[in-house]
Structure 1
Amino acid sequence: MRALFLKVERGTTALATALACAMLTAAAALGLWQIITRFVIERPAEWTEVLIRFTLIWMVFLGIPMAFRIGAMVSVDVLYRWSGQRLRRFLDTMVALAALLLIGITIVVGWDYAQRGSVQTVTGLEDVSMFWAYMSMPVGGVFSVLAIVGNWLDPQRMELETAQ
């Protein structure tokens, strides 16, 4: 069961990371298009600024699971380095529970925002509902829950390994 969960978690975290990279690429391309339309064509495309903001929001919430998975989000480095094996596992559990609580709140609040924002439209993109911007919170949160549990089951401390 554990191996199956970790396999699914690796896939979902890889998917979230790939989508976060795609959002960064889209934001860069939109920024380039905005520069071209504003300074070369001299007819600015107002909608690009809003889309850049949306893609960056989605990028952040989809990138968080990878940070949790490699153990780089919530960290108690000094205590972890000074502690023995049993205390380390306790710290891992406490950090995972605190992160799950925080992400759980993010999912609930994000879903509530998405529901309330579904009647709002985006300035500059009148056909797009704010629902899609706010959905980044619960979607990224679900990916994060899987990554947090995956890191608890199979801890990776990449930030400790690279620290000097």
Structure 2
Amino acid sequence: MKAHDHASPPGKLHRLERALVAFNEAVLIGLMASMSVLVIVNVVSRYLFNHSLVWAEELSRYMMVWVGFLGSGLVLRIGAHIAVDVFQDLMPARIARLMRLGVLAVLGVCIVAMGWLGLQYVHFAWGQETPVLNWNFGLVYLAIPFGALLMLLHLALIAGPYVRERAFRKDGALSGEEATL
């Protein structure tokens, strides 16, 4: 798994990519910070005041679902998902590129399938309400198609460098190798 600098997409595409990543990161940071504060406040409230916020656990669980799906695209772009690289390391460069192209195709198909099935699940759950908050369950499960869409966008943005040289985007804070340690 290599993560090195390569030519950034040209002009507008690069700015759109940076905006997508910045927005994706901001939403994740907001969700995780809110979730952390909510859990801490609930624990303090429970032990100091003997009063639990009954909705806090449910809300933090739904936030965690969104964090998982919205964060998967960012993890994909730095190459931190589980992968088996040994086969392409043993192959000549041309065959290794073909293997990476196949991996890209399989990933794309799986992500599209996840998004499609996620939309069906949203439709199925749309009329149901969450137990405590009485929110529409379909809104909770919208994380699946939104996450799939973000993963497809991130996959498209790293596709060329990945196929050509097994390169991933570098993140200022974390590389794929560091994320897997």
TM-score range, shorter chain: 0.7 to 0.9
**1:24 partnered with 2:32:** yes
| Secondary structure, aligned partner of 1:76 | coil
How many Å separate the matches in 2 of 1:163 and 1:33?
A: 31
Partner of 2:96: 88
* Residue 21 of structure 1: how far off its partner (Å): 2.2
How many Å separate the matches in 2 of 1:65 and 1:33?
A: 30
**1:8 partnered with 2:16:** yes
Partner of 1:139: 146
Question: Do the aligned residues in 1 keep the contact of 2:62 with 2:140 (CA within 8 Å)?
Answer: yes
Question: Do the aligned residues in 2 keep the contact of 1:92 with 1:152 (CA within 8 Å)?
Answer: no
Aligned residues: 162
Q: 1:82 to 1:159 in 2, by over 3 A?
A: farther
Partner of 1:148: 155
How many Å separate the matches in 2 of 1:163 and 1:87?
A: 26
Runs (5+) with no aligned partner, structure 1: none
Question: Do the aligned residues in 2 keep the contact of 1:5 with 1:150 (CA within 8 Å)?
Answer: no
| Percent of pairs with identical residues | 21
Partner of 1:120: 128
* Structure whose residues are more often strand by fraction: 1
Q: CA RMSD in A?
A: 2.3
How many Å separate the matches in 2 of 1:151 and 1:134?
A: 27
How many Å separate the matches in 2 of 1:15 and 1:71?
A: 19
One-letter identity of the residue aligned with 1:149: A
Question: Do the aligned residues in 2 keep the contact of 1:107 with 1:142 (CA within 8 Å)?
Answer: yes
Question: Do the aligned residues in 2 keep the contact of 1:117 with 1:130 (CA within 8 Å)?
Answer: yes
- Greater displacement, 34-43 / 12-21: 12-21
**1:97 partnered with 2:118:** no
**1:62 partnered with 2:70:** yes
* Structure whose residues are more often helix by fraction: 1
Question: Do the aligned residues in 2 keep the contact of 1:30 with 1:48 (CA within 8 Å)?
Answer: yes
- Normalising by structure 1, what TM-score? 0.86
Runs (5+) with no aligned partner, structure 2: 1-8, 169-174
